[in-house]
């Protein structure tokens, strides 16, 4: 199973990947630094799940999700972001996000969002 | 105060947001607030992130000396403090991410006072933010283990 981790921070990509492994998932990772790079990676090899930051240069996480859905791509996607604004959560879920995990997150919070998505 | 924002009151939210991140994402239990400074310290480095509210824009910053920034970055990445120093790019990336996470916590805490806030992208800097006739800088110092970390709020001064 492959997970695409999209964040402009290399440190945060590492933290997310480590947290997923610590949650007990034996997966491989692909990384992208923004939505535009993620879109290319998804077209090249659709992952089982996209975990994306919200605020990124070039193309944000929500722009990525909206673009995917506009082209009919139903790849599973959730956000790992410092944003917790209720309006943004609504926007994310209306666009088809499966979860919105707020940084800083605990290992239990990571497990809780991945459980329903990866089973 | 300027543009309807009480910047001094917002510093408290910045302190709370940083302390939460220090205890959770950075795993630092030894956090205290020794006080405030009138000006940023000249040799410090760190990250700024812009926030835009309906009443105006301002920047939040997190700064420390080189050893303090190394501690922040290594803590975020769950690395022992005794590990070799991170390269400049890795250090900047990690401190910018801490600023981003802190800004998210600040945003949720300040929602009642400020309303909707839009976050920008963080940038790394060397040296202090310069207060001017038009720009004020509020600085709060947090002790994080062996390091002192400055929390900065850079804001437009009231005109007229």
- Kindly list the domain boundaries of chain B, sorted by start residue: 7-156
- C-alpha B87/C-alpha B90 separation (Å) is 5
Give the pLDDT score at B109.
Answer: 94
Residues of B in contact with A14 (CB under 8 A): 77
Q: Work out the pLDDT band at B97, boundaries 50, 70, 90.
A: very high
A48: domain range? 28-78+89-96
Nearest in space to B46 (alpha carbons), one of B93, B107, B106 = B93
Residue B68 pLDDT > 60, yes or no?
A: yes
Q: Is residue A41 part of a domain?
A: yes
Q: Are A104 and B103 inside 8 Å of each other by CB?
A: no
Q: Is residue A4 part of a domain?
A: no
ipTM value for the complex:
0.92
Q: What is the pLDDT of residues A14-24, one digit of tens each?
A: 999 999 999 99
The partner residues of B58 in beta bridges, in order of sequence, read: B51
Q: What is the pLDDT of residues A36-75, one digit of tens each?
A: 999 999 999 999 999 999 999 999 999 999 999 999 999 9
Q: What is the CATH number of the domain that holds A52?
A: 3.40.50.2300
The listed CATH number (3.40.1550.10, 3.40.30.10, 3.40.430.10, 2.170.120.20) that belongs to domain B7-156: 3.40.1550.10
Q: Could you give the residue ranges of the DSSP H alpha helices within A1-119? A: 10-22, 35-44, 61-70, 86-95, 107-118
Residue B2 pLDDT > 50, yes or no?
A: no
- C-alpha B18/C-alpha B26 separation (Å) is 10
Nearest in space to A54 (alpha carbons), one of A13, A88, A87, A17 = A88
Give the 3-state secondary structure of residue B153.
strand
Q: Are B121 and A87 inside 8 Å of each other by CB?
A: no
Cβ neighbors of B101 (< 8 A, separation 6 or more) are A82, A103, A104, B21, B25
Q: Are B119 and A55 inside 8 Å of each other by CB?
A: yes
B25, B73, B116 ranked by CB distance to A103: nearest: B25
B73, B101, B116 ranked by CB distance to A103: nearest: B101
Task: Please state the domain count of chain A.
Answer: 1
Q: Which helix (H) or strand (E) holds B58?
A: strand B56-64
Q: Is residue A48 part of a domain?
A: yes
Taking the CA of residue B20 and the nearest CA in chain A, the distance in Å comes to 9
Q: Are B77 and A15 inside 8 Å of each other by CB?
A: yes
Distances (CA, A) of A108 to A22, A23, B38: 10, 8, 41
Q: Are B102 and B14 in contact (CB under 8 A)?
A: yes
Q: Is residue A35 part of a domain?
A: yes
Q: Is residue A115 part of a domain?
A: no
The predicted model scores a pTM of 0.93
Q: Are B108 and A85 inside 8 Å of each other by CB?
A: yes
B21, B97, B108 ranked by CB distance to A9: nearest: B97
Q: Work out the pLDDT band at B1, boundaries 50, 70, 90.
A: very low
């Amino acid at each position: 199973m492959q997970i695409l981790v999209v964040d402009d921070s290399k440190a945060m990509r590492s933290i997310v990947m480590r947290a997923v492994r610590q949650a007990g998932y034996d997966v491989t990772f692909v990384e992208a630094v923004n939505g535009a790079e993620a879109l290319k990676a998804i077209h090249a090899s659709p992952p089982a799940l996209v975990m994306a930051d919200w605020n990124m240069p070039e193309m944000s996480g929500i722009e990525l999700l909206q673009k995917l859905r506009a082209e009919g791509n139903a790849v599973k996607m959730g956000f790992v972001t410092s944003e917790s604004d209720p309006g943004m959560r609504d926007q994310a879920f209306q666009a088809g996000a499966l979860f919105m995990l707020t940084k800083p997150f605990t290992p239990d919070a990571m497990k809780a969002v991945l459980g329903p998505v990866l089973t | 105060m300027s543009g309807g924002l009480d910047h001094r009151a917002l510093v408290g939210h910045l302190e709370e947001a940083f302390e939460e991140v220090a205890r959770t994402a950075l795993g630092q239990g030894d956090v205290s607030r020794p006080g405030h400074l009138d000006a940023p310290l000249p040799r410090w480095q760190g990250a700024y992130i812009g926030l835009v509210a309906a009443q105006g824009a301002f920047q939040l910053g997190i700064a420390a000396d080189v050893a303090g920034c190394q501690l922040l970055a290594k803590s975020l990445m769950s690395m022992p403090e005794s590990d070799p120093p991170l390269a400049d790019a890795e250090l900047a990336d990690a401190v910018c991410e801490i600023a981003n996470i802190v800004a998210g916590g600040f945003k949720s805490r300040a929602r009642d006072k400020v309303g909707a806030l839009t976050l920008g992208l963080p940038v790394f800097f060397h040296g202090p933010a310069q207060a001017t006739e038009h720009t004020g800088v509020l600085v709060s110092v947090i002790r994080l283990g062996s390091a002192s970390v400055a929390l900065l709020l850079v804001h437009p001064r009231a005109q007229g």
